[in-house]
Amino acid sequence: MQQNQQAHLRLFTRRTALLGGLKLALLGTLAGRMYYLQVVDADKYATLAEENRISVRLLAPLRGRITDRFGYTLATNDQNYRVVIIPEQTDDLEQTLRMLSLILPLSESDIARVLRDAEKKRAFVPITVRENLVWEDVARVEINTPDLPGITIEVEQRRNYPYGGLAAHVLGYVAAVAEADLTDDPLLELPGFRIGKTGVERQYDVSLRGSAGTSHVEVNAIGRVIRELQRKEGEPGQDIALTIDMGLQHFAQQRLAGELSAMAVVLDVVNGEVMAMASTPAFDPTLFDRGLTTAEWQQLVNDPLHPLTNKTISGQYAPGSTFKMMVTLAALASGIGPSHTVYCPGHMSLGTSRFHCWKKGGHGTLDMLRGLQHSCDVYFYDIARRAGIDAIAEMSRRFGLGVPTGIDLPGEKPGVVPDRNWKLGATGEPWQPGETLVAGIGQGFILTTPLQLALMAARIGNGGMGIVPHIRREAVFRPGDQPGAAPAGATSIGVAPEHMLIVQEGMNLVSNDPRGTAYRSRIEQPGMELAGKTGTAQVRRITAAERASGVIANEDLPWERRDHALFVAYAPVASPRYACSVIVQHGGGGSRFAAPIARDILIETQLRDPASRVPAPRIAAVGPR
Amino acid sequence: MAIKLRTLASSNTPGGISIGEKFRDMSWLLVLLVTAIAGIGFAMLYSAANASVDPWMSRQLVRFCGGLVIMFVVALIDIRFWMRHAYAIYLAAFVLLVYVEFAGEVGMGAQRWIDLKFFQLQPSEIMKVSMVLALARYFHSLDFDRIGRPLPLIPPLAMILAPAGLVLVQPDLGTAGMLILVGGALFFAAGVRIWKFALAAAAALAAIPIAWQFLRDYQRNRVLTFLDPESDPLGAGYHILQSKIAFGSGGVFGKGFLMGTQSHLSFLPERQTDFIFTMLAEEFGLFGGLCLLGLYALVFVYGYAIAFKARNHFGRLLAIGITTNLFVYVFINAAMVMGLIPVVGIPMPLISYGGTAMITVLIGIGLLMSVHIHRDVRIGQRGYGED
Of A394, A333, A319, A399, the residue nearest A368 (C-alpha)? A333
* pLDDT reading at A50 higher than 80: yes
Residue B250's φ and ψ, nearest 5 degrees, are: -70, -30
A380-394 mean pLDDT? 95
Q: Report the residue of chain A nearest B277, measured CA to CA.
A: A34
DSSP-assigned letter for residue A217: E
Strand partners, B85: none
| Residue A109 to residue A130: CA distance in whole angstroms | 11
| Residue A612 to residue A299: CA distance in whole angstroms | 42
Contacts of A124 in chain B (CB under 8 A): none
Q: Is A559 left (phi over 0), alpha (psi -120 to 50) or beta?
A: alpha
Contacts of B144 in chain A (CB under 8 A): 4-5, 7-8
| Torsion angle in degrees (nearest 10) through CA of B89, B95, B100, B102 | 180
Looking at the complex, report in whole angstroms how far the Cα of residue A288 sits from the nearest Cα belonging to chain B.
40
- Chain-chain contact of B249 with A18 (C-beta, under 8 angstroms): no
| Cis previous bond, A281, omega within 30 | yes
Q: Please tell me which residue in A261, A279, A321, A375 is annotated as part of the active site.
A: A321
Contacts of A50 in chain B (CB under 8 A): 249
Contacts of B327 in chain A (CB under 8 A): 23, 26
Contacts of A5 in chain B (CB under 8 A): 144
| Residue A179 to residue A195: CA distance in whole angstroms | 12
Residues 6+ apart with CB under 8 A from A347: A354, A355, A356, A357, A362, A378
Strand partners, A174: A196
- The reply to whether A321 belongs to the active site is yes
> Which pLDDT belongs to residue B234?
55
Residues 194-223 of A with CB under 8 A from B: 218-222
Residue A56 touches partner B, C-beta closer than 8 Å:
no
> Which pLDDT belongs to residue A2?
67
Of A22, A25, A27, the residue nearest B320 (C-alpha)? A22
DSSP-assigned letter for residue A39: I
> Which pLDDT belongs to residue B23?
83
Of A5, A46, A218, the CB nearest to B265: A218
* pLDDT reading at A408 higher than 60: yes
Residue A19 touches partner B, C-beta closer than 8 Å:
yes
| Residue A468 to residue A181: CA distance in whole angstroms | 29
Looking at the complex, report in whole angstroms how far the Cα of residue B191 sits from the nearest Cα belonging to chain A.
6
Residues of B with CB under 8 A from a CB of A: 144-145, 185, 188-191, 242, 244-252, 261-262, 264-267, 281, 285-286, 289-290, 293, 297, 300, 304, 307-308, 313, 316, 320, 324, 327, 331, 334-335, 338, 340
> Which pLDDT belongs to residue A292?
78
Of A20, A33, A222, the CB nearest to B338: A33
> Which pLDDT belongs to residue A549?
81
Residue A49 touches partner B, C-beta closer than 8 Å:
yes
Residues 6+ apart with CB under 8 A from A36: none
> Which pLDDT belongs to residue B10?
47
Pairing status of strand A240-241 against strand A54-59: unpaired
Give me the half-sphere count of Cα atoms (radius 13 Å) on the Cβ side of residue B353: 23
Looking at the complex, report in whole angstroms how far the Cα of residue A56 sits from the nearest Cα belonging to chain B.
16
Query: Among A244-253, A285-294, A332-341, B317-326, which stretch is predicted with the lowest mean pLDDT?
Result: A285-294
SS3 label, residue B9: helix
Q: Report the residue of chain A nearest B308, measured CA to CA.
A: A13
| Residue A541 to residue B386: CA distance in whole angstroms | 132
SS3 label, residue A241: strand
Per-residue three-class SS string for A477-533: CCCCCCCCCCCCCCCECCCCHHHHHHHHHHHHHHHHCCCCCCHHHCCCCCCCCCEEE
SS3 label, residue B338: coil
The sign one gets for the Cα dihedral A598, A603, A606, A607 is negative
The C-alpha angle with vertex A485 and arms to A531 and A246, in degrees rounded to 5, equals: 70
Of A131, A407, A418, A400, the residue nearest A291 (C-alpha)? A131
Give me the count of residues in chain B.
387
Of B227, B211, B120, B218, the residue nearest B164 (C-alpha)? B211
Strand partners, A416: A447
| Residue B260 to residue B280: CA distance in whole angstroms | 9
Q: Contact, B104 vs B113, CB < 8 A?
A: yes
- Chain-chain contact of A29 with B335 (C-beta, under 8 angstroms): yes
- Chain-chain contact of B266 with A30 (C-beta, under 8 angstroms): no
Predicted complex ipTM: 0.89
Strand partners, A609: none
| Residue A309 to residue A318: CA distance in whole angstroms | 18
| Residue A232 to residue A484: CA distance in whole angstroms | 41
Contacts of B285 in chain A (CB under 8 A): 38
B252-271 burial code (b ≥16 CB/10 A, e <16) = eebbeeeebbbbbbebbbbb
- Work out the mean pLDDT of chain A and round it to a whole number: 87
Q: Report the residue of chain B nearest A4, measured CA to CA.
A: B144
Of B249, B289, B320, the CB nearest to A34: B289
Looking at the complex, report in whole angstroms how far the Cα of residue B127 sits from the nearest Cα belonging to chain A.
22
| Cis previous bond, B55, omega within 30 | yes
| Residue A466 to residue A468: CA distance in whole angstroms | 7
Give me the count of residues in chain A.
625
- Chain-chain contact of A4 with B248 (C-beta, under 8 angstroms): no
Q: Contact, B363 vs B283, CB < 8 A?
A: no
| Torsion angle in degrees (nearest 10) through CA of A262, A268, A271, A272 | 0
Distances (CA, A) of A371 to A263, A320, A520: 27, 15, 18
A87-110 burial code (b ≥16 CB/10 A, e <16) = bebbeebeebbebbbeebebeeeb
A549-578 mean pLDDT? 89
How many Cβ atoms from other residues are within 10 Å of residue B17's Cβ? 17
Residue A196's φ and ψ, nearest 5 degrees, are: -70, 135
SS3 label, residue B142: coil
Residues 6+ apart with CB under 8 A from A393: A402, A417, A418, A419, A422
- Chain-chain contact of A49 with B297 (C-beta, under 8 angstroms): no
Of A193, A197, A418, A445, the residue nearest A318 (C-alpha)? A445
The C-alpha angle with vertex A291 and arms to A287 and A297, in degrees rounded to 5, equals: 80
Residue range A210-260, pLDDT digits in tens: 888 888 888 777 667 777 887 888 888 899 999 999 999 999 999 998 888
Q: Report the residue of chain B nearest A7, measured CA to CA.
A: B144
Looking at the complex, report in whole angstroms how far the Cα of residue A229 sits from the nearest Cα belonging to chain B.
13
Q: Contact, A353 vs A453, CB < 8 A?
A: no
Residue A225 touches partner B, C-beta closer than 8 Å:
no
Of A15, A27, A37, the CB nearest to B189: A15
Contacts of B185 in chain A (CB under 8 A): 19
User: Terminus-to-terminus CA distance in chain A, angstroms?
Assistant: 122
SS3 label, residue A273: strand
> Which pLDDT belongs to residue A615?
64
> Which pLDDT belongs to residue B386?
46
SS3 label, residue B128: helix
A24-40 mean pLDDT? 94
* pLDDT reading at A29 higher than 80: yes
How many Cβ atoms from other residues are within 10 Å of residue A32's Cβ? 11
What is the pLDDT tens value at each position of chain B, 387 positions in all? 444 444 554 444 445 678 888 888 888 999 999 999 999 999 999 999 988 998 899 999 999 999 999 999 999 999 999 999 999 999 999 999 998 887 766 555 444 677 776 677 888 889 999 999 999 999 998 887 788 888 888 999 999 999 998 888 777 778 888 999 999 999 999 888 888 889 888 988 888 888 788 777 777 777 776 666 556 555 556 788 888 999 999 999 999 998 888 888 878 878 888 899 999 999 999 999 999 999 999 999 999 999 999 989 999 999 999 999 999 999 999 999 998 888 778 899 999 998 888 999 999 999 999 999 999 888 876 655 544
pLDDT grade for A369, boundaries at 50, 70 and 90: very high
Pairing status of strand B110-115 against strand B105-107: antiparallel
Of B145, B189, B266, the CB nearest to A220: B266
Alpha helix (H) residue ranges in A399-464: 420-427, 433-440, 450-461
> Which pLDDT belongs to residue B229?
59
Residues 6+ apart with CB under 8 A from A155: A79, A80, A81, A82
- Chain-chain contact of A49 with B261 (C-beta, under 8 angstroms): yes
Residue A241's φ and ψ, nearest 5 degrees, are: -100, 130
